[in-house]
Amino acid sequence: MKTIWTIAKRELGAYFTSPVAYVFIVIFLLLAGFFTFMVGRFFDRGVADLLPFFLWHPWLYLFLVPAVGMRLWSEELRLGTMELLFTMPVTPWQAILGKYFASWIFLAIALLLTFPLIVTVSYLGHPDFGRIVAGYLGSLLMAGSFLSIALLTSSLTRSQVVSFILAVVICLFLILCGWPPVTDAVSNWAPAWFVDGLASLGVMTHFESLQRGVVDSRDLVFFVSVIIFCLFTTSVVLRARRA
């Protein structure tokens, strides 16, 4: 754990020693505010909740999270520092977890900086804080799932652009699988078992439950499974590169 934390601190420090972290956080907060208050018509709804805020998170994360994760291994491969990293007393799993936790902490910091929205709904009414906490938990897990995908794609190529595009395509697939317009269209010609199976693969299906304040173990297992699968596959790719 000490080695993992050392790598995580190095990666987290690399974010905040460059303007990239601050640009990302500003863009995330501005877009979150725009979609919540302007597109989501927060004040016109007359309801003190954060549904308009969480509603757009999958689409925000679709582009912003791959942008955060695209450099994690691609940069190491491009500069040739991955070989140097593994000559040190560091296992692939320690390096993977260190990089992953650093980026996930960074995303969590960006998400926590949206706390003024909680203050706003508390001032305007009496929100269901259990529902808000569940929504934040779902948002953090979804960000972690998308980040694990970006970590995997970054281990496949030296190009950050290619890594970004691959991550966006995979994340988009997971969003569309559970997006109601898509599942409704598929249900017109596909059997119910196929539609249910397709929806179970989508992040929207599992995230919507958490938005409503329902913390179901099946939703938690889904997000954790995506993270573990992608991290394991990343370790397989890195071991193959070392061979």
Q: pLDDT by residue (tens digit) across 14-34?
A: 888 878 888 889 999 999 888
Query: Among 20-29, 51-60, 79-88, whose mean pLDDT is lowest?
Result: 79-88
Phi, psi of 50 (to 5 degrees): -110, 25
Q: pLDDT by residue (tens digit) across 121-151?
A: 888 878 888 899 999 999 999 999 999 999 9
Q: What is the mean pLDDT of residues 153-165?
A: 90
Q: Residue 139's closest CA among 39, 28, 239?
A: 28
Q: Are the beta carbons of 31 and 116 closer than 8 angstroms?
A: no
Q: Residue 241's closest CA among 77, 95, 91, 97?
A: 77
CA distances (Å), origin 166, targets 2, 67, 103, 153, 170:
32, 11, 18, 6, 6
Q: Are the beta carbons of 131 and 122 closer than 8 angstroms?
A: no
Place of tokens 């725009």: 34
Q: Are the beta carbons of 179 and 198 closer than 8 angstroms?
A: no
Residue 243 has pLDDT above 70, yes or no: no
Query: Using 50, 70 and 90 to split pLDDT, how confident is the model at 86?
Result: low
Q: pLDDT by residue (tens digit) across 203-225?
A: 888 898 898 888 888 899 999 99
What token pair was written down for 103?
Answer: 């980026």
Residue 43 has pLDDT above 90, yes or no: no
End-to-end CA distance of the chain: 25
Q: For residue 119, count other CB atoms closer than 10 A to its CB.
A: 9
Per-chain mean pLDDT for the chain: 86
CA distances (Å), origin 239, targets 6, 232, 235:
21, 11, 6
Q: pLDDT by residue (tens digit) across 102-119?
A: 999 999 999 999 998 888
Q: Which helix (H) or strand (E) holds 183?
A: helix 180-187
Q: pLDDT by residue (tens digit) across 163-185?
A: 999 999 999 988 888 777 777 77
Whole-prediction pTM: 0.90
